[in-house]
């Protein structure tokens, strides 16, 4: 293989020497780091960065038909993460570029964060903080987490990890999942229900489904209207699952008690009507990131890059488009 470079676009490793990058250097690979003028690389910046690059340890920058046409050396895109909605997978396959994700690297971390948001919302951690820093000392009674009703939308790896944590709170667990693991459902005592039924009944709704075209604005104005005024909505999956304008309306009118959002329709989120609300908790798309998951996801991505370099097939679990290998 003539190309011998791996492009690293993950912003948080740009200015530091992450230990896992030594694996690439020890394999004789030249590591090239690049971030965009706005943080995430633009399409043009991706194209400028790819000459001589056979693999990318990729963030959320776009990989389009135009990018692939301009990058004949590119053989593998290994996502530092599990989503691949910024990648035109059919185009990657046509150009013989394997798309790999770090499946299994951070689902427990996302579940931790989702449940932390659920607890913070239900028990009013931020209002309690503002109460005491505002000079007040009083008790405000709020609903309990213990034995509340959780509604989990999507029961894959992350949804299952959330369910296990909810079981520790003796919560009633409702789930909406088109392809459920029935053994897990029985083991955890989960009730499978249609989405609208889940929204009507749950005290806490947490989203863990993929950002497919069919799921765009899965939670829209009509579905938000189904939720109890006392309910909370948590999203650590993808921002496009929620119609943010409709959510803002519901929160501002107190037709919904609150929301915890780690993902947004447009990222980075630098301005939003949500900022003015006191019943939301917002964070910058970091639910899947902690010290443990950072290294786990990076090493899974590097495994895929080095496998392709050796002419081997990456781990099937994380390989999105196996036909790309045959295209080469």
Domain that holds residue 276: 107-282
Please check whether residues 122 and 198 belong to one and the same domain: yes
Do 167 and 155 touch, CB atoms closer than 8 A? no
Consecutive H or E run containing 309: helix 291-309
Output Rg (C-alpha) for the chain, integer angstroms.
Answer: 21
Consecutive H or E run containing 234: strand 232-235
Do 81 and 102 touch, CB atoms closer than 8 A? yes
Does residue 54 surpass a pLDDT of 90?
yes
DSSP string across 86-125: TB-HHHHHHTT-EEE--TTSSHHHHHHHHHHHHHHHHHTH
Does residue 13 surpass a pLDDT of 80?
no
Name the catalytic one among 75, 285, 294, 309.
Answer: 285
Is residue 186 flagged as an active site residue?
Answer: no
CA atoms of 188 and 166, how far apart (whole Å): 10
Do 272 and 264 touch, CB atoms closer than 8 A? yes
pLDDT attached to residue 321: 97
Q: Quick one: pLDDT band at residue 17, thresholds 50, 70, 90? A: confident
In tens, the pLDDT along 89-104 reads: 999 999 999 999 999 9
CA atoms of 98 and 305, how far apart (whole Å): 9
Does residue 14 surpass a pLDDT of 90?
no
Mean pLDDT of 119-148: 96
Please check whether residues 247 and 263 belong to one and the same domain: yes
Please check whether residues 211 and 255 belong to one and the same domain: yes
Please check whether residues 259 and 132 belong to one and the same domain: yes
Instruction: Report the Cα 204 to chain-centroid distance in Å.
Output: 19
User: Please, what is the end-to-end C-alpha distance for the chain in angstroms?
Assistant: 13
In tens, the pLDDT along 293-325 reads: 999 999 999 999 999 999 999 999 999 999 999
Please check whether residues 295 and 261 belong to one and the same domain: no
Please check whether residues 126 and 87 belong to one and the same domain: no
Handedness of CA 186, 187, 189, 194 (dihedral sign): negative
Please check whether residues 250 and 274 belong to one and the same domain: yes
Residue (of 30, 191, 209, 229) closest to 114 by Cα position: 209
Helix 107-123 × helix 125-133 angle, to 10°: 50
Please check whether residues 312 and 228 belong to one and the same domain: no
Please check whether residues 313 and 271 belong to one and the same domain: no
C-alpha distances (whole Å) from 277 to each of 249, 254, 260, 274 are 11, 10, 12, 5
**pTM of the prediction?**
0.89
Does residue 15 surpass a pLDDT of 70?
no
Handedness of CA 162, 261, 118, 151 (dihedral sign): negative
Handedness of CA 302, 308, 96, 7 (dihedral sign): positive
308: domain CATH number is 3.40.50.720
CA atoms of 105 and 82, how far apart (whole Å): 8
Is residue 285 flagged as an active site residue?
Answer: yes
Name the catalytic one among 95, 107, 238, 309.
Answer: 238
Please check whether residues 186 and 314 belong to one and the same domain: no
Consecutive H or E run containing 299: helix 291-309
Name the catalytic one among 43, 191, 249, 267.
Answer: 267
pLDDT attached to residue 202: 98
In tens, the pLDDT along 107-132 reads: 999 999 999 999 999 999 999 999 99
Please check whether residues 112 and 46 belong to one and the same domain: no
Instruction: Report the Cα 210 to chain-centroid distance in Å.
Output: 9
Average pLDDT, the chain: 95
Please check whether residues 70 and 139 belong to one and the same domain: no
Does residue 3 surpass a pLDDT of 90?
no
Q: How many domains does the chain have?
A: 2
């Amino acid at each position: 293989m003539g190309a011998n470079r791996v492009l690293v676009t993950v912003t948080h490793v740009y200015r530091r020497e992450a230990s896992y990058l030594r694996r690439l250097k020890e394999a004789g690979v030249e590591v090239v780091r690049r971030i965009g003028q706005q943080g995430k690389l633009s399409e043009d910046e991706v194209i400028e960065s790819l000459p001589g690059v056979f693999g990318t340890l990729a963030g959320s920058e776009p990989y389009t038909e135009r990018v692939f046409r301009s990058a004949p050396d590119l053989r593998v895109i290994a996502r530092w993460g599990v989503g691949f909605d910024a990648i035109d997978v059919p185009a990657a396959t046509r150009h013989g570029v394997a798309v790999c994700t770090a499946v299994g690297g951070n689902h427990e971390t996302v579940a931790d964060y989702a449940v932390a948001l659920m607890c913070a919302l239900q028990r009013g951690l931020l209002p309690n903080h503002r109460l005491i820093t505002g000079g007040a000392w009083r008790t405000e009674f709020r609903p309990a987490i213990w034995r509340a009703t959780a509604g989990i939308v999507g029961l894959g790896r992350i949804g299952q990890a959330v369910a296990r944590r909810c079981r520790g709170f003796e919560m009633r667990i409702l789930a909406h999942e088109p392809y459920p693991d029935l053994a897990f459902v029985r083991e955890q005592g989960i009730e499978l229900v249609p989405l609208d039924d889940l929204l009507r009944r749950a005290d806490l709704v947490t989203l863990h489904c993929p950002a497919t075209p069919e799921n765009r604005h899965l939670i829209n104005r009509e579905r938000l209207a189904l939720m109890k005024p006392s309910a909370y909505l948590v999203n650590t999956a993808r921002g496009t699952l929620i119609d943010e304008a409709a959510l803002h309306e519901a929160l501002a009118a107190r037709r919904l008690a609150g929301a915890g959002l780690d993902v947004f329709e447009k990222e980075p989120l630098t301005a939003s009507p949500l900022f003015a609300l006191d019943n939301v908790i917002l964070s910058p798309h970091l639910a899947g990131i902690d010290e443990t998951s950072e290294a786990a996801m990076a090493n899974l991505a590097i495994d895929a890059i080095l496998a392709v370099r050796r002419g081997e097939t990456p781990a099937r679990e994380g390989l999105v488009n196996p036909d790309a290998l045959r295209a080469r």
